[in-house]
Chain A
């Protein structure tokens, strides 16, 4: 049983100072739905826990200019309940609804999800196609980086000790777009994704595709995107895009699914997601939130 000291700073500076003091012996705690389990399983063993839930600006969830600002303590439940998210970023809204359970969504945060950097993170494909910006602060100052540059591999990000992700900024999409997030689990109940995909299309013919759970990190499928850009997304075209998309992913076999099944499902979900995005771009269904598996 791991024991540790606990702090709850009330400002970002205090939090950074605490980390400076304890360094790698410390872990930041937000929703805890990942971290607490990892501590129980001895995957991490901090001597100091720095609870970030007391920093007021982290709870920010609002439109500011041409961005939606999502602070580090915003939970998935808050995203699901937000009309700004539902209206402007329905792909993130859809992804948020698939996370675990009510009780977990009430605690787990969007920022915590990307910081866990598990390849199957539900929010990642959505954030990738939305071209989100990750805001990082440390004692030296603040920086922003595109989400596509954030993940390095399973449970690895570009963050270095002393960094705190303070929020995520989502650029407002154009007025006319279509998007879709589909998650394949073993059943309709709560599950980690065997495969998840997010797609985004706008009326200029831009297509963005991102996969989760089928590569060491969540990835964009640039080759497939390039092929599809500007094209009418008819069945034949979608069919041709599948093998191109497969080039961006490298699924493994694990206790949840075999590599072969993941490859197969990636193709199936890609087509279903692009059909839905394309249809939604034209103002038609399926309604956001409807299950497509």
Chain B
């Protein structure tokens, strides 16, 4: 790809949503006033993690003055789900996790709704509770979804009726057994990553109005307006054109606001009270208990290597606790199944990735989509193997790093990648190889490294579309349904449009989604929208540019090939004096000498769908398809300091490098690196959802689920962008939003090992665990 002289793309600029956000003008879903007719909802959650429902009696609740509607499983039959329809709006015959929605009351005040809720009588018969995925695989384990065989499912997922397995992805490459026999050194071990939550600062909010004209309008804090519309239309038996999802700014998504969650409940409530808006704002406790979590992973890793450090075989078995519903989490299991080699060239691979039901809250998309979890095991394991061979862990990684042209585990060729440059840049920034010492005799320091890759996990036919409309003053509105979550999506799309149309960025608006007006976007997940929607916006801009050039060429009798756009004007390469400002004609057309006009409103349209992806693979080997579009690679390292007496870990310095292909917004990519690092830091050192024996969450608040503060973030952060172009990306761009979180857990585990000689295989790597491990190490050496 030739070097382009780009005026806007790749240059830092004030983000398009910046002014709105620092003036507190930006509206989030709860900021929208719905008028005095608004009704309030209260939702009843199951107190049991697993129980059959013997009876539901809502009659007393219905009698309370001010109650407009009471809903339960009786009202909302049918199953729903993104990939596997194992979910219900309200539990009907059985509850499968603590807090699962069983009923709801809609009333004229929150007080009345809460009061009436207390009058609903539900008779439960408790069932055995399963919380461990390995236990759930045992032949005598209670079946959480006995009707699994009846559920509608996409063709590329394989549920196993009669078990608690919602999906099993197998990958078989080469011959691992033979390769292990020929290996010089083998290491096998288990790693255990617990449940964590997204904890966006804005909780889930959904408001719905079912009007008397039969239209359902919703205002949701979501990453997926069109996917939501699709699911809701199907579940509620409405036509797509009669469901309108309006999405204001989202106060943090991280995957937790992908797909559909509590919005179905708001919609169902609204449909019971036509003409009245109903708003549900989740409390922080609801957010912990009743939105999707990140799955727990118990992973078995067995790696075989030659003495020279070549990895020859990998067996990786991933046992995922997807919770009570696998409607979304099944794809996490699927996606990781394909990629659980990590960013390495390995000739013999055996991967089993199991989606296992338990009586824990449903687990869905969480930044990294399973990759953070399995990288913890793989990258910890890599360090241990390197150490056993007396090889430097960074050199070991470089030796085995996957390169362009290598074949991944499922038979597809790896695309262009700056992976080696990422490794070198990070090693340089962290001063790898140089030991650092603390002045405090109580403290030791260490460094740790991790290598990362991730592909967007998407259906083969994911797609994006964009409209660009010009205004009289040659400003433009770009209409897309990708979501600005804070990652800088809006600014990236704006820059692409500005670049192709030769406009200054100040003339560009990018509109937040409204499914009535903005064209389709699959979801804002998977770190794919810069690539996919960026391509759509670029096509729309080129389409508009072609219309502009055509009308000017026709009206002024100039060859199209010599016309170009620059600084808001149409210019001519053969006539230096020709400069026609766009505002003269983008709405009103070009006037001819005879007084007639040519042209009219300029309207760009672009649509993008990859045409080379296929989920059609052999279920036994994972081969034969092309399930992933491309990989983004990167590396991360930390320098930590540990207080040996208290076990407290602090990150002094971090470095991360990612191959973004082409950073459309370099400073915002830096923001993703810093933010992703700190979110990863939380999961590495402090975050864990703690359940009791009955499946109840013991820490559903910020008092006891600690997310990083300004005092916990490292003071020195090196964010490095590498650019090896993605051939089919806009200007070479590929996504990085999730990736920046992935190296953190293993880099810290490796740094702890470097500092103290202890290996912790189960994050969060709390001060207490470190003190315990030091104690055990001291006892072992006696």
Interface of A toward B, CB cutoff 8 Å: 1, 3, 184, 186-192, 255-258, 260-261, 264-265, 268, 293
Contact = CB atoms under 8 A, between A and B. Distances in A.
| Leading 5 A-B pairs by shortest Cβ distance | A189-B709, A188-B711, A261-B768, A268-B645, A1-B111
Given A192-B703, A261-B771, A184 B646 contact: yes
A192 B690 CA distance: 17
A264 B778 CA distance: 15
B711 A189 contact: yes
Contact of B768 (A190, A191, A257, A293): A257
A3 to B, nearest CB: 7
A186 B703 contact: no
Contacts of B648: 187, 293
Interface of B: 110-111, 114, 643, 645-646, 648, 650, 685-686, 690, 698-699, 703-704, 706, 708-712, 766-768, 771-772
A192 B706 CA distance: 11
A8 B210 CA distance: 44
A187 B712 contact: yes
Interface centre among A1, A187, A258, A264 (most CB of B within 10 A): A187
Given A188-B650, A261-B771, A268-B646, A255 B704 contact: yes
Contacts of A261: 767-768, 771-772
A192 B699 CA distance: 13
Contacts of A188: 650, 709, 711-712
B756 to A, nearest CB: 16
Given A256-B704, A258-B768, A1 B645 contact: no
Contacts of B706: 186-187, 189, 191
A187 B704 CA distance: 11
Given A189-B710, A258-B768, A261-B768, 5 more contacts: A186-B767, A189-B708, A255-B690, A257-B768, A293-B643
Contact of B708 (A187, A192, A256): A187
A3 B114 CA distance: 13
29 contacts: A3-B111, A186-B706, A186-B766, A187-B686, A187-B706, A187-B708, A187-B709, A187-B711, A188-B650, A188-B711, A188-B712, A189-B706, A189-B709, A189-B710, A189-B712, A255-B698, A256-B704, A257-B768, A258-B768, A260-B772, A261-B767, A261-B771, A261-B772, A264-B771, A265-B646, A268-B645, A268-B646, A293-B643, A293-B648
Nearest to A293: B646
Q: Is the interface of A mostly helix, strand, loop or mixed?
A: loop
A189 B767 CA distance: 14
A257 B648 CA distance: 13
Given A187-B685, A188-B709, A261-B771, A1 B110 contact: yes
A6 to B, nearest CB: 16
Contacts of B772: 260-261
Nearest to A192: B703
A70 B286 CA distance: 40
A61 B711 CA distance: 31
A192 B768 CA distance: 16
A260 B645 CA distance: 14
A25 B554 CA distance: 85
Contacts of A187: 648, 685-686, 706, 708-709, 711-712
Nearest to B709: A189
A257 B766 CA distance: 10
Nearest to B690: A255
Nearest to B775: A264
A33 to B, nearest CB: 12
Nearest to B643: A293
Nearest to A101: B709
Given A256-B704, A261-B771, A264-B771, A186 B686 contact: yes
A184 B708 CA distance: 16
B312 to A, nearest CB: 41
A271 B767 CA distance: 18
